């Protein structure tokens, strides 16, 4: 009898977890449609070029900051972890 109750509660728990996972994974946001006029390869390449430029600027800025600190002899190991985002 105890084993049947335990099995019943385990089944209820698994089914409840599955239902919770199903409802949390549903996307109720707006449905997006593919528009070939807007979503083109050229636009994607433009965005990738902009991102590459931005990341390059961030890397150069951090490198210049580290070199300036090293020249001033104020560089500490702790500063590296402070630069992490």
**Predicted local confidence at residue 2, as pLDDT:** 59
Helix (H, G, I), strand (E, B) or coil at 20: helix
CA–CA separation, 82 vs 85, rounded Å?
8
CA–CA separation, 73 vs 16, rounded Å?
60
Structural domain boundaries enclosing 66: 2-27+35-83
Question: Do residues 77 and 67 touch, judged by C-beta distance below 8 A?
Answer: no
Q: Which residues contact 69 (CB under 8 A, 6 or more apart)?
A: 75, 79
* The two structure tokens encoding residue 48: 């990738």
Per-residue pLDDT reduced to its tens digit, 18-73: 999 888 888 777 777 878 888 888 989 999 999 999 999 999 998 888 888 888 87
Number of domains in the chain: 1
* The two structure tokens encoding residue 78: 């702790």
Q: 42 or 85: which carries more pLDDT confidence? A: 42
**pTM of the complete model beyond 0.75:** no
What confidence category does residue 1 fall into, taking pLDDT thresholds of 50, 70 and 90?
low
């Amino acid at each position: 009898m105890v084993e049947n109750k335990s099995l019943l509660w385990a089944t209820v728990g698994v089914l409840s977890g599955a239902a919770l996972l199903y409802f949390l994974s549903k996307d109720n946001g707006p449905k997006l449609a593919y528009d070939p006029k807007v979503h083109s390869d050229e636009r994607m390449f433009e965005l990738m070029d902009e991102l590459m430029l931005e990341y390059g600027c961030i890397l150069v800025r951090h490198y210049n900051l580290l070199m300036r600190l090293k020249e001033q002899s104020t560089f500490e190991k702790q500063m590296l972890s402070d630069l992490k985002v």
